[in-house]
Structure 1
Amino acid sequence: MKDAIWLAGAAGAIGTALVPLLIDAGYAVFGSTRKPERARALEAAGVTPVIVDVFDADALRAALVRVAPRAVIHQLTDLPFALDAAKMAQATAANARLRDEGTRHLVAAAVAAGSARLIAQSIAWAYRDTPAKPYDETQPLDVEAEGARGISVRGVASLERQTLHTPALAGTVLRYGQIWGPRTGFDAPVGASPVHVEAAAFAAFYALERGASGAFNIADDHADADNAKAKRELGWSPALRLARDEVRR
């Protein structure tokens, strides 16, 4: 058995695909969710469920200190299924709060628990629009954007800053493209930088296994976000998929 891993958002689309990779590699996976009804499915997948709300800082800290995970993987989002347009106005603010305040609580809890690593989910379409496409990880985020985009990008910027610049943690930011595939609500690639949900899960797994720090674009080939760094430093490919026996877990 390898080290304990805390997977925040274990019941989400990427979390669900990531769990079998971690279990098969021998990690003890503690999966957090705020919804008690998801505990049984997590247990069936081999995860120790922890029911906790990331906005309850004291409860979150106590839970992580009890588990003392070597690494924390942050896959939390607060978005409607298939990005339902009728719900997105409210979800944009809620998701930005999760990336800002929720990440702050998760980082504080990870530090208190003595964790060494934090791997966090970001997005690959937050870059400032310039002619220099495809965008690599050195290009600036569009933090001065207005409206809903500005709210989202500033939430992303806060998440990335906390992940990459907390001295006690080796931080990795995965800038996922637009997710599609099982449990996402999208059956085909969408957006300018799509990525399959299972390939996204492999990126988190490879970041953990390789111990890689920094920001990485996780998107298909020939997308607006350049994936060369992830290929080079993580050994990642957008073609990666779960084996069918892993899917059945």
Structure 2
Amino acid sequence: MHAQTIDYSALKYGTKENSMASGYFVHPATIAVKNHAYVVTMDLKTAKKLTSWPVRVLSVDGHAPENVRKVKDGAGNSHVYYSFTTTNLKRNINAKLAINVPDVYKAKHNITFRFKTNSLPALGSKATTQTTRTQRTTQGKAASASSVKPAATTASQEAASSSQASSKAKAKSAAAATSSTSSQPASQSSKTSRDSQQASASDQVPQQKTHWGGLIGGVAAIVLLVGGGSWWYFGKH
């Protein structure tokens, strides 16, 4: 935090007139930029004859003073160093003082400071910083999402491939079952046809045997009859 200087005026509260207490304030003040804000340090000096530190700063810009230090210089004068933090010095900065000079004067006074902002150091914008952080965060999330997305896509593709493989396996099983079912009746039908033909043949063969046997038996009977008759006939004669 590199400090620079800035001049200012100590005015009657809410006016453009110099305050009677303006002689207490040392010029210029110092200013530095910290955490995107101005830190202004002022020196309130009172003479040795007014006793030690007769003037105190109760508040500045609505807040208690920061980094308060009390120091005596070589001449015995009292110095009260204090700071305040703000992001806007182009407006009036109000303060409240307590003055206590024993047996002389005791009171509280408001005072207004007006700073000369022509040569203010650059102040980074919180909004810009926040926007930059948001952009970085968004870019980081986008990069993370892009790195995760292919994995998710790969997983989906693998799941789809697995599903397709399962479907193909099921289709093959179904086809095999259908083929087996369709081939089984054909073989059974062929077997049934052959059995039927064999049955028909077996039914017909005995009939043919019985028929020829009958014929042969008939022929034998005729021969015996004729032969017997002939023998009887020839025996009679």
Q: Report the TM-score range of the alignment, normalised by the length of the smaller protein.
A: under 0.3
Higher relative contact order (CA 8 A, sep 6+): 1
Structure number with higher strand proportion: 2
What TM-score results when the alignment is normalised by the length of structure 1?
0.17
- Rg larger for: 2
What TM-score results when the alignment is normalised by the length of structure 2?
0.18
